[in-house]
Amino acid sequence: MGQAHHKVQVVQIPGQGSTTSTIPQATKMSLRQISAALRRRNSLILLLCLVAFYLLWFQLAGVRLLEGSGHPHSDQWEERVAKELYAMRLQASEMRRQLTRLGSAPAHWRHPDLPTIFVVTPTHAIPTQKADLVRLSNTLLHVPNLHWLIVEDADHKSELVSRLLRRSGLVYTHLSVATPPELKLQPKDPRWKKPRGVLQRNAALSWLRENLEIVDANGVVYFADDDNTYSLELFTEMRDIQSVGVWPVGLVGGVMVERPLVDNGRVTGWLTPWRPDRAFATDMAGFAVNVRLVLNHPTASFSIESQRGFLETDLLTQMGVTLDDLEVKADLCTKVLVWHTQTAKADLKIEKIMEQKGKPATNVGIEV
């Protein structure tokens, strides 16, 4: 064994010319084995590469397979989400049905940290009243920590509105105050001739002053007429208002949209064709105020004396608000989240003809 170490073998190493090596004779056989091993190694490397390639391909194909069943925006994924949403809605509507049946408003639909949104709605007895209130209450049901202040333009609270509120599942306060006949619109008068809902909104402001404590009052007051269309996003936008929040209103004043003019995040004026010189040229639906403003200005109210179209601006002026106080909502006033839709007057021509002929009204014994 020791002798073998003295023999010298010339080994041709590919690419390196001839080199003198000290590999002993006894390893001659194992050299062949080495080259075989090298070949085996190469095959092994090739095999490993193939396996790695195969695994990679499998992985990618697998991802594609997964995509098929669950990747967002795939058809299956959307179908699954739709099914889950449907099941959740079903559950929610069943719970709401139970709450209504038990006669308990979901006062627990309250979060201690969320400011309350006080929604003030004047309403009057016209054929479309219930339809408007049902539509509005369906919207409000989606909003947590909401308190509906609904004020009937009537001497007494009606059974129709009382029942609707009891069954609504909303947290509410029901008030009534009648607009004196001389201040009321006559059937032939154009809509704009007399201000509407003035005494009713004032009754709600008085209720807030009588029932909330300044120290812990935390919330926002929004004047939401019964016939507008409200996006749920609007309520999220207004909830954190500290002074006065403003935003665009769609389909109002004879144009597609009226809105605050915003420069560098501040309101600089108003984009409206009619009297943009008003200090606050916004529709009732285009602003909300922090409830502290109502409590800190105990005499601020809507005025029956206000010039036509000046109800809103006159109220905000009494509250000592300036343009600088305005908080710009709805993505710097670039989004329409409320529409001044107006419910068409009910067409009851046939009902009148039937009445003249002494026939009974179609709504005898059924509330419409």
By CB under 5 A, name the binding residues for Mn ion. Answer: 225, 227, 342
Which residues, listed in sequence order, are joined to residue 312 by a DSSP beta bridge?
A: none
328 binds, among ligand UGA, Mn ion, none (CB under 5 to 8 A by kind): none
Site string for ligand UGA, 168-197 (x = CB under 6 A): -----------x----xx-----x---xxx
The smaller minimum CB distance to ligand UGA, of residues 122 and 169, is found at: 122
State yes or no: residue 278 binds ligand UGA (CB under 6 A): no
Task: Figure out which of the listed residues 23, 74, 100, 124 binds ligand UGA, where binding follows CB under 6 A.
Answer: 124
Distances (CA, A) of 259 to 263, 268, 311, 340, 341: 13, 11, 17, 13, 16
Work out how close the CB of 134 gets to ligand UGA at its nearest, in angstroms, rounded to a whole number: 14
Task: Tell me the residue nearest to ligand UGA as measured from the CB.
Answer: 197
The smaller minimum CB distance to ligand UGA, of residues 213 and 367, is found at: 367
Residues 98 and 321: their CA atoms lie apart, in Å, by 44
Task: Figure out which of the listed residues 27, 98, 296, 342 binds ligand UGA, where binding follows CB under 6 A.
Answer: 342
Select the span of 24-32, 53-61, 73-81, 117-125 touching ligand UGA (CB under 6 A): 117-125
Task: Figure out which of the listed residues 226, 237, 258, 327 binds ligand UGA, where binding follows CB under 6 A.
Answer: 226
State yes or no: residue 227 binds ligand UGA (CB under 6 A): yes
The smaller minimum CB distance to ligand UGA, of residues 59 and 342, is found at: 342
Select the span of 26-34, 47-55, 225-233, 323-331 touching ligand UGA (CB under 6 A): 225-233
Work out how close the CB of 62 gets to ligand UGA at its nearest, in angstroms, rounded to a whole number: 58
Pairing label, strands 116-123, 146-152: parallel
179 binds, among Mn ion, ligand UGA, none (CB under 5 to 8 A by kind): ligand UGA
The smaller minimum CB distance to Mn ion, of residues 226 and 327, is found at: 226
Tokens of 178: 């009648």
Work out how close the CB of 195 gets to ligand UGA at its nearest, in angstroms, rounded to a whole number: 4
Tokens of 280: 């606050």
Residues 246 and 287: their CA atoms lie apart, in Å, by 4
Does the active-site annotation cover 312?
Answer: yes
Work out how close the CB of 311 gets to ligand UGA at its nearest, in angstroms, rounded to a whole number: 6
Work out how close the CB of 260 gets to Mn ion at its nearest, in angstroms, rounded to a whole number: 20
- Residues across the chain: 368
Q: What are phi and psi of 19, to 5 degrees?
A: -130, 145
Pairing label, strands 219-223, 287-290: antiparallel
Q: If binding means CB under 6 A, how many residues of this protein chain bind ligand UGA?
A: 22
Residues binding ligand UGA (CB under 6 A) = 121-124, 153, 179, 184-185, 191, 195-197, 200, 225-227, 283-285, 311, 340, 342
Q: Which residues are catalytic?
A: 312
